[in-house]
């Protein structure tokens, strides 16, 4: 069977930092579904039209609604049951996998490249923990730029050191297993000496994650000396780095005294993480918990992995707590493989899920590795690639460009291909990217021979991260479109309900601003807000990140026709319905907006263009035309408009040079009703230049 197409937290970790390491913590190279009454959605991703005459027999609107709901339930339950029945081969630990790679002569040259990468690491000093804010940046430590805005405040040192721990955990995760693999392959003492030196230092890092990570916003309040917000991201990454290294090291090559220190460290981490959940320390552990967030998953991984190293039978209660937490995090994600926090954080969090699941399976526990989410996630992830090598970049997803040699994406795909046994990931790795990378998982992926067909070029995801995406083919110069909805579980999301992106022959016509670094001063004003998206703004009403249902009338190889209801995004607004239909000649957006009964309002729409060149604007009253080198945009309205343009920042097309040291700029067309109106109907037609 083909694969079926794939929080509310403060923005705590700069995404660009998360994306510097892959699924297994390896350092990445630099690189930038209410079904409409006329359709059903088969599992192969196509849409079957229903004879409109048949729909008249369905009865009134309520009966139609119930039938649609029944259809959805039938489809998704059938899908979930099939996915849940799938099995993957028993996992092996890192040592066994490394030994297989060593015995494959066809991998000899690539193996040399991996060892060469490890040799470069031996030429660098080990990473050391620092204990004062002034020292962050020394000894290969990392300073989170947000700490710079806390000068003179007590929390600066707390936050800075906590985030420094996150940075150092990423470093040891990217380096130690690589060095251990090289040592296993060569026996050269230069690798062992570097490993032992780093492990001796790491054994002193207790706790692996120091407190203060929650203190990410400036405030003058003193921090209590016993402040503790609990285990966090560095917990999971550090434990993974240690555990992978120990699996890869040949038996007897870690001194007994050092092993005792590492066991004591991991024992303390098990106790701490278990207490954190019992006492509900940290925002995401409060109440019933927030298992959909990355911050729930990473310390959970650390707990599971530490128990596996020391003996899951010895720590049976703690191990089951970890597994229960992990399964909760898997269960809460979308039934079609959608990840609640978008693809950027998925690359970080699913990495953690899969690493824990693989380690569990290697010791005979496949509960996580066989979870339906991990079976379906690869297709959802692959569907983020748009023509022109752009990525669907709603949510905090960093830069939107994804070249064929993108190391991070290739490493994610090869890990999914190896550990989740995903044919879709393997297909994408070979057909959409430059194949596996030269590391251990890449070498293993290179041996995989699981056949796969290309996934559909279009999909409607009605769960978390709700959206429809389409492309005319998998060629880089194809046409593409995606439209955003909204779901109650969306996290790390933007004010972007009903946003529309459009690409013609690989060139972006309509874009969104994207996500810059979290320390960018404009992130909460010009990027993640309505200002950074092709959406409605109603003057006088405050927008909210509300659910935005989507109804799909048609979605097939020729294009799509769907409607998004964004009314709830502006409390008090009477209506905002956006219909989007497109084919390979044009994209048409029809907006219907009704202000509150007692308060006419000025209504504003922005259309972010994928160019930094000025547009030519002409027209008057209710009819306007916008022309730029790559396309045209025609406006027809029920009320008089004013149309202007301005330069706004983006991390999507990133053209020219940074205007102010922070931002690349692009052209944005601003469409505003000439005066306050009770309602407005606007039709926007976008075409590529011919």
In a domain, 444, yes or no: no
pLDDT one-digit tens code per residue, 386-438:
999 999 988 888 778 999 999 989 999 999 999 898 999 999 999 999 999 98
Q: Please state, in angstroms and as integers, the Cα–Cα distance from residue 507 to each residue in 298, 464, 653, following that order.
A: 37, 28, 10
pLDDT at position 429, please? 95
Q: Cα separations (Å) of 588 from 316, 481, 617, 634?
A: 58, 11, 19, 9
Residue 612 C-beta-side C-alpha neighbours within 13 Å: 14
Look at the chain and report how many structural domains it folds into. Answer: 1
CATH number, domain of 588, equals 2.70.98.70
Scored b (16 or more CB within 10 A) or e, 253-282 reads: ebeeeeeebbeebbbebbebbbebbeeebb
Cβ of 476: how many Cβ atoms within 10 Å?
15
Here the tokens at position 628 are 């730029």
Whether residue 3 is contained in a domain is answered as no
User: Which residues are within 8 A (CB) of 516 and not within 5 positions of it... i.e. 6 or more apart?
Assistant: 522, 523, 527, 649, 651, 662, 663
Question: Is residue 463 a part of any domain in this protein?
Answer: yes
Burial grade of 132 (CB within 10 A; 0-12, 13-18, 19 or more): exposed
Residue 359 is predicted with a pLDDT of 98
CB 221 within 8 A of CB 154: yes
* C-beta separation of 320 from 274 below 8 A: no
59-117 pLDDT tens trace: 344 344 334 433 433 333 333 333 443 677 778 999 999 999 999 999 999 999 999 99
Successive 10-residue mean pLDDT values, the chain, 690 residues: 31 43 38 28 33 34 40 35 55 93 92 96 98 98 95 96 98 97 98 99 99 96 96 98 98 98 99 98 95 96 99 98 98 96 91 96 96 96 97 86 93 91 94 92 81 92 97 98 96 96 98 93 95 97 96 98 98 97 97 94 98 98 98 99 98 88 95 98 96
- What pLDDT sits at residue 629? 97
Helix 94-102 vs helix 233-248: crossing angle, to nearest 10: 50
Distance CA 503, CA 608 (A): 12
Is residue 583 in some structural domain?
yes
Which residues span the domain enclosing 530?
457-688
Identify the pLDDT of residue 20.
45
- 273 Rama class: left (phi>0) / alpha (psi -120 to 50) / beta: alpha
Residue whose C-alpha is closest to residue 495's, from 517, 521, 515, 471: 515
What residue has token string 């849940």?
84
Contact 20, 26 (CB under 8 A): no
Structure token digits, residue 666: 């692009």
Inside any domain, residue 313? no
Q: Is residue 74 part of a domain?
A: no
Structure confidence at residue 399 (pLDDT): 77
Spatial CB neighbours of 181, under 8 Å, sequence gap ≥ 6? 94, 98, 114, 118, 248, 440
E-only strand ranges, 485-549: 500-504, 507-510, 536-538
CA distance 44 to 97: 34
> What are the backbone dihedrals phi and psi of residue 84, each rounded to the nearest 5 degrees, phi first?
-65, -25
Task: Classify 349 as helix, strand or coil.
Answer: helix
382 in a structural domain: no
Residue 632 inside a domain? The answer is yes
26 contacts 439 by C-beta, under 8 angstroms? yes
């Amino acid at each position: 069977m083909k694969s079926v197409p794939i929080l509310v937290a403060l923005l705590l970790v700069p995404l660009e930092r998360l994306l510097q390491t892959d699924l297994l913590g390896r350092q990445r190279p630099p690189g930038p579904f209410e079904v409409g009454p006329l359709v059903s959605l088969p599992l192969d991703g196509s849409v079957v039209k229903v004879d409109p005459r048949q729909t008249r027999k369905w009865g009134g609107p309520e009966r139609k609604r119930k039938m649609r709901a029944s259809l959805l339930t039938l489809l998704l339950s059938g899908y979930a049951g099939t996915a849940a029945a799938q099995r993957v081969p028993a996992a092996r630990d890192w040592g066994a996998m490394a030994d297989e790679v060593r015995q494959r002569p066809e991998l000899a040259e690539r193996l040399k490249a991996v060892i060469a990468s490890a040799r470069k690491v031996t030429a660098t000093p080990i990473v050391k923990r620092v204990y004062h804010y002034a020292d962050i940046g020394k000894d290969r430590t990392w300073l989170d730029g947000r700490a710079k805005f806390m000068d003179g405040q007590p929390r600066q040192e707390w936050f800075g050191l906590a985030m420094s721990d996150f940075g150092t955990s990423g470093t040891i995760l990217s380096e130690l297993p690589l060095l251990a693999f090289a040592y296993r392959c060569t026996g050269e003492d230069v690798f062992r000496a570097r490993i032992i030196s780093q492990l001796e230092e790491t054994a002193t890092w207790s706790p692996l994650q120091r407190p203060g990570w929650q203190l990410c916003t400036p405030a003058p309040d003193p921090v209590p000396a016993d402040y503790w917000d609990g285990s966090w991201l560095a917990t999971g990454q550090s434990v993974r780095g240690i555990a992978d290294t120990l699996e890869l090291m040949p038996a007897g090559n870690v001194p007994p005294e050092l092993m005792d220190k590492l066991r004591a460290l991991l024992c303390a981490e098990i106790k701490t993480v278990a207490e954190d959940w019992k006492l509900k320390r940290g925002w995401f552990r409060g109440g019933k918990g927030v298992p959909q967030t990355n911050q729930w998953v990473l310390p959970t991984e650390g707990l599971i992995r530490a128990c596996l190293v020391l003996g899951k039978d010895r720590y049976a209660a703690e191990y089951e707590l970890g597994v229960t937490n992990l399964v909760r995090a898997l269960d809460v994600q979308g039934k079609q493989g959608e990840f609640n926090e978008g693809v950027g954080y998925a690359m970080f969090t699913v990495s953690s899920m899969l690493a824990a699941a693989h380690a569990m399976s290697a010791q005979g526990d496949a509960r996580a590795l066989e979870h339906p989410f991990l079976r379906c996630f690869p297709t959802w992830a692959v569907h983020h690639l748009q023509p022109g090598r752009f990525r669907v970049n709603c949510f905090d997803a960093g830069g939107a460009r994804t070249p064929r040699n993108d190391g991070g994406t290739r490493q994610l795909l090869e890990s999914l291909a190896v550990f989740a046994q995903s044919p879709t990931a393997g297909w994408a790795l070979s057909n959409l990217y430059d194949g596996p990378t030269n590391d251990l998982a890449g070498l293993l992926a290179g041996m995989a021979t699981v056949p796969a067909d290309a996934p559909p070029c279009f999909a409607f995801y009605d769960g978390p991260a709700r959206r429809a995406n389409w492309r005319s083919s998998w060629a880089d110069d194809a046409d593409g479109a995606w439209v955003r909805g909204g779901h109650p579980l969306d996290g790390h999301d933007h004010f972007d309900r009903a946003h529309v992106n459009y690409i013609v022959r690989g060139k972006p016509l309509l874009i969104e601003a994207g996500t810059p670094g979290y320390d960018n001063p404009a992130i909460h004003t010009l990027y993640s807000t309505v200002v950074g998206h092709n959406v409605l703004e109603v003057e006088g009403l405050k927008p909210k990140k509300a659910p935005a249902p989507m109804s799909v009338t048609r979605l097939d190889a020729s294009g799509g026709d769907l409607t998004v209801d964004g009314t709830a995004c502006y409390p008090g607004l009477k209506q905002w319905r956006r219909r989007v239909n497109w084919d390979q000649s044009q994209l048409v957006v029809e907006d219907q907006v009704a202000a509150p009964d007692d308060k006419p309002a000025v209504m504003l729409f922005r259309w972010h263009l994928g160019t930094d060149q000025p547009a030519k604007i002409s027209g008057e009253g209710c009819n306007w035309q916008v022309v730029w080198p790559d396309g045209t945009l025609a406006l027809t309205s029920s009320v008089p408009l004013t149309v202007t343009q301005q330069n706004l920042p983006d991390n999507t097309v990133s053209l020219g040079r940074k205007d102010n040291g922070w931002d690349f700029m692009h052209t944005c067309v601003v469409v505003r009703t000439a005066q306050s109106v009770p309602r407005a109907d606007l039709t926007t037609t976008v075409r590529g230049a011919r």
